[in-house]
């Protein structure tokens, strides 16, 4: 029997808020609305799969 090695295919993203430029880490497949902790702007909206990121992505963290 051949087993495939499964890699973790989901990532955390470091994003920058478009309003206050706060940098924050969000999950790529967020299941709830993620808001900026400083100003409250929506950074990620759930879609059932990958979240709709409404901020500038600075880096992908694996």
Q: What is the model's pTM?
A: 0.81
The C-alpha atoms of residue 36 and residue 21 are separated, in whole angstroms, by 10
The C-alpha atoms of residue 26 and residue 57 are separated, in whole angstroms, by 10
Domain 12-61 has CATH 2.20.25.100: yes
Closest CA to 29 of 5, 53, 6, 7: 53
Q: Which H/E stretch holds residue 24?
A: strand 23-27
Considering only residues 56 and 5, tell me which one the structure prediction assigns the higher pLDDT: 56
| pLDDT (tens digit per residue) in 1-46 | 566 777 778 899 999 999 999 999 999 999 999 999 999 999 999 9
């Amino acid at each position: 029997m051949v087993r495939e090695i499964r890699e973790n295919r989901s990532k955390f993203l470091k994003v920058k808020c478009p309003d206050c430029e706060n940098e924050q880490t969000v999950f790529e497949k967020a299941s709830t609305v993620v808001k900026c902790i400083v100003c409250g702007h929506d950074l990620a909206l759930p879609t059932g799969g990958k979240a709709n990121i409404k901020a500038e992505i600075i880096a992908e963290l694996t």
